[in-house]
Chains A and B, each alone.
Chain A
Amino acid sequence: MEGEPSPRSGAGFHQGSFPLAVNVDLQTDATLQVDISDALSERDKVKFTVHTKSTLPNFKQNEFSVVRQHEEFIWLHDSFVENEEYAGYIIPPAPPRPDFDASREKLQKLGEGEGSMTKEEFTKMKQELEAEYLAIFKKTVAMHEVFLCRVAAHPVLRKDMNFHVFLEYNQDLSVRGKNKREKMEDFFKNVVKSADGVLVAGVKDVDDFFEHEKTFLLEYHNRVKDASSKSDRMIRSHKNAADDINRIASTLYTLGTQDSTDVCKFFLKVSELFEKTRKIEARVAADEDLKLADLLKYYLRESQAAKDLLYRRGRALVDYENANKALDKARAKNKDVLQAETSQQVCCQKFEKISESAKQELIDFKTRRVAAFRKNLVELAELELKHAKGNLQLLQSCVGVLKGDT
């Protein structure tokens, strides 16, 4: 673990230089701007420096920073989910846990295999793995930042007390990760929830809008999941091919230095060419990962959050209908009528409140989604073009040189 790179950069993670891959119209609002200005990878945790600029009166200063870890983000997210007041909103999905395991394992394997390869190969592979580590690191920073920005942009959530504490309280929040028992509780809660979800989803909605959204989201979520996993596989094949080109370049180089005939020039030139094109291929895979795979993964999580909203509304609807039935029964028996009436009122209000905000949330979700896809697809196409043109130029110039030589 000691050999682990610890990327640390001051300016590197500002919103400008590493643009948010996913969200577009979170254009700021000078009243509250949040970003992650720095990050430090240490052993098995990552420390994020959350930087806030605000003109809101409730903060003591106009600009301040705190250090937070992943568990604290989860705590914040969970507090939103558990808050009944927010039942009618799409809760911004929690950022995934920073996962450097795969990368760490590869670095370890490289260390063990050091004896079996030449020094150049070793250095090259080490550089690549370090670059990969850095890429994963940047991604996890971006995802945590997106979460905070979504919260900051939401008209209601941005006012949340816990959020302000998260941003401002410059000591450790003492949020411990869930222990085993709590994790088991969560697991069972989820099981119950999904069973319930199925029941709730079965209830046909009177409102056309919501009925449509329900069907749409269900199908959309599944297809995004499929597209996300397929895009991951495609990108991994791409990376594998780039790695092969790397090895070919090395062997060509050895052949070129060994060969005493005319063809050694060819080998050396092509080796040089492949070194360069391989870097471009690796960049293509990385960009596809950012613009396509990450986009799909994010909307997988967001569509789940939207489904959760629909579930909560559905739940409220069922509760409301049950309360109605109970009221009718109570009236019929003329027993506990007042109680039933209050209960029915509460359910009704809850349901209507959720319905109202849910509608707006779902409309916003669509707008955000369309904008994000547009931005990313355009950028994807532009990057693919840029790389293909770069590759083409390298290849053509090499062919020109080699043809001239024969």
Chain B
Amino acid sequence: MAAEMEPPPLGDAGQTDFREIEDGEGFFVSTVTTLESPEPSSPDPPSMPAEGISTNGPKQEDISLDDDPEDLFAEATEEVSLDSPEREPILSDGPSPAITPVTPTAMLTPRMGLGTAEMFERSLDEIEEDDSGDTFDMHIAVSDPEKVGTFNTVLMYSYIKTSMTIFSKNETTVRRRFSDFLGLHSKLASRYLHIGYIVPPAPEKSIVGMTKVKVGKEDLSSAEFVEKRRSALERYLMRTVKHPILLKDPDVMMFLESSELPRAVSTQALSGAGILRMVNKAADAVNKMTIKMNESDAWFEEKHQQFENLDLQLRKLHASVECLVCHRKELSVNTASFAKSAAMLGNSEDHTALSRALSQLAEVEEKIDQLHQDQAYADFYLFSELLGDYVRLITAVKGVFDHRMKTWSKWQDTQLLLQKKREAESKLQFANKPDKLQQAQDEIKELEGKVQQGEKDFELISKTIRKEVSRFEKERVKDFKVVIIKYLESLVQTQQQLIKYWEAFLPEAKAIA
């Protein structure tokens, strides 16, 4: 087990071109802006990802893919539009609202028009029906963390996926760094959270852990850190792609497919974006306290309470399991030390048969200590990490509920404003100021539109949340069931091994004459 945890040695010569990333070349910046800037003309969505990706194309030296890079991306464009009928309406409308950056929701309406919005909703339904029975055959494995770069070392993770038809290749290997994952999450969060989608949270940063690795400390704790992070990234990615809406997001697709990504600087804690995030979080917290929502829907009230309870219990359970992991590791260490001590005792015992039996005991205990270590490993990776993931997921769920509250609050505020303006207008009616009156009437018209939109947004987010929660619960049930069974099976194995070891020892003990 210890051997597995050692990060593989520094990448070989074949991977040299990835060192380019270290030099902070800026020629990928253009790609970023292409995707992010709002395109009023709303070009054919399938070409947008291709547009972004093809910029990369000619400059690529793609080692992992056999095909000519140009071909690959050309294929992608085709694949995207030739998809099976159910997927088409989604693709034509889906990405558009997604790609539009975080602008006030009021702006969405004039762009999309009500017709498209309806289609969007309908297609969402279709996705739901689709997924209820489908076989999700995408598999992502994050592996081979490798240190790249000599001065400012960075860990690169590669992953391999076998995918469904919407992706061009059956198996792709791409290399990504940790900040890429964070960048992806940040993009998805800014796009989807506020309209009610539960975006899986990314693994947390760890300055201490990363520094150890950077400094080149090749000890057990840094190996464990790398393994922990690798596993977390894998789970994160799997959760993200399992979400039918997120999977179709062009950023996700680009993340999964393209060989190089623009560096996500906004994820750095002390960057401008980072500070903005912190300010926003604080503002949100204050707002939450001041919004008192009239909950007309009992379902939301109930669910909110349920998630609060679940959160509490999962945190408690997580803490207990972490304790268990700690104690089991301790047990393993103490058993190993006892084994050594027993061996010494066996050495000094001058009765030969007893001496042999004591040495055997020492061997058994040594095997058992390895067993405890393996079990602690399972305790952690199966049980503890699942619980940690869900504690973070539920925070995301609660966030989504909060967004709904905000949406409601915004709607109400707009309504109040409308009312005020109406009152002001009726006053102006008697004041004989035709310009001001016209202006007031225009404003009222605009506000009426806004109020309508606000109500629509609120209904939309409520509907989305309902669906999301139901999907989340299904996933949760599945996840827990699978993990619990796996964990119990690991316990079964441990006991079986224990029986083997003690059965081998018993005749030795009996042989003492």
Contacts and interface: CB of A to CB of B under 8 A. Distances in A.
Please indicate whether A and B come from the same complex rather than being unrelated chains.
yes
Interface of A: 216, 219-220, 223-224, 226-227, 230-231, 233-234, 236-238, 240-241, 244-245, 247-248, 251-252, 254-255, 258-263, 266, 270, 273, 277, 366, 369-370, 373-374, 377-378, 380-382, 384-385, 388-389, 391-392, 395-396, 398-399, 402-403, 406
B344 A245 contact: no
A356 to B, nearest CB: 21
B184 interface: no
Contacts of B327: 237, 240-241, 244
Interface stretch (B39-47, B434-442, B481-489): B481-489
Nearest to A390: B495
Contact of A244 (B323, B480, B495): B323
B331 A266 contact: no
A391 B505 contact: no
Interface in B21-80: none
Contacts of B328: 241
15 contacts: A216-B348, A220-B348, A237-B330, A238-B331, A244-B327, A260-B306, A266-B481, A266-B484, A370-B354, A374-B509, A374-B510, A385-B502, A391-B491, A398-B488, A402-B484
A80 to B, nearest CB: 27
B473 interface: yes
Given A370-B353, A384-B502, 10 more contacts: A230-B338, A234-B338, A248-B320, A258-B310, A369-B354, A374-B509, A374-B512, A381-B506, A385-B506, A388-B498
Given A230-B337, A263-B480, A270-B484, A223 B330 contact: no
Interface size class of B (residues with CB under 8 A): 35 or more
B496 A230 contact: no
Contacts of B357: 373-374, 377
Interface string B471-513: 0010011001100110011011001101100110110011010
B503 to A, nearest CB: 6
B303 to A, nearest CB: 10
Interface of B: 306, 309-310, 313-314, 316-317, 320-321, 323-324, 327-328, 330-331, 334-335, 337-338, 340-342, 344-345, 347-351, 353-354, 357-358, 361, 473, 476-477, 480-481, 484-485, 488-489, 491-492, 495-496, 498-499, 502-503, 505-506, 509-510, 512
B496 A381 contact: no
Contacts of B485: 399, 402-403, 406
What 5 A-B pairs come out closest when comparing CB atoms?
A: A237-B331, A244-B324, A377-B509, A374-B512, A230-B338
Contacts of A254: 313
Contacts of A366: 350-351
Given A220-B348, A374-B354, A378-B509, A227 B342 contact: yes
A259 B484 CA distance: 16
Given A241-B331, A399-B485, A392 B309 contact: no
B309 A258 contact: yes
B337 A248 contact: no
Secondary structure of the B contact surface, majority rule? helix
Given A241-B331, A244-B327, A251-B316, A377 B512 contact: yes
Given A234-B338, A382-B506, A384-B502, A392 B320 contact: no
A224 B488 contact: no
B501 to A, nearest CB: 9
B509 A251 contact: no
A277 B349 CA distance: 36
Given A392-B496, A392-B499, A247 B320 contact: yes
B345 A234 contact: no
A402 B481 contact: yes
Contacts of A219: 348
A234 B324 CA distance: 15
Secondary structure of the A contact surface, majority rule? helix
A248 B317 contact: yes
A125 B407 CA distance: 48
B317 A226 contact: no
B317 A255 contact: yes
Nearest to B383: A248
A255 B390 CA distance: 14
Nearest to A234: B334
Contacts of A273: 488
A241 B321 CA distance: 10
B492 A381 contact: no
B324 A248 contact: yes
A395 B488 contact: yes
A381 B340 CA distance: 19
Contact of A391 (B309, B341, B495): B495
A358 to B, nearest CB: 17
A293 to B, nearest CB: 10
Residue from A227, A270, A399 having most chain B Cβ neighbours under 10 A: A227
B506 A378 contact: yes
Contacts of B510: 374, 378
Contacts of B334: 230, 233-234, 236-237
A273 B324 CA distance: 16
Given A262-B477, A263-B476, A377-B512, A223 B344 contact: yes
Given A392-B496, A402-B481, A223 B320 contact: no
Given A227-B338, A248-B321, A381 B345 contact: no
A388 B499 contact: yes
Nearest to B480: A263
Contact of A261 (B331, B350, B477): B477
Nearest to A380: B509
Given A244-B324, A374-B512, A395 B491 contact: yes
A389 B484 CA distance: 21
Nearest to B328: A241
B488 to A, nearest CB: 5
A231 B342 CA distance: 9
Contacts of A373: 354, 357-358, 512
Contacts of A260: 306
Nearest to A284: B498
A399 B512 contact: no
Residue from A238, A266, A377 having most chain B Cβ neighbours under 10 A: A377
Residue from A244, A370, A406 having most chain B Cβ neighbours under 10 A: A244
Nearest to A296: B345
A370 B345 CA distance: 13
A325 to B, nearest CB: 34
B354 A231 contact: no
A392 B495 contact: yes
Contacts of B502: 381, 384-385, 388
Nearest to B344: A223
A165 to B, nearest CB: 38
Nearest to A285: B331
Nearest to A405: B481
B338 A231 contact: yes
A18 to B, nearest CB: 22
Contacts of B499: 385, 388-389, 392
A129 B511 CA distance: 38
Contacts of A406: 481, 485
Contacts of A392: 492, 495-496, 499
Contact of B473 (A244, A251, A261, A395): A261
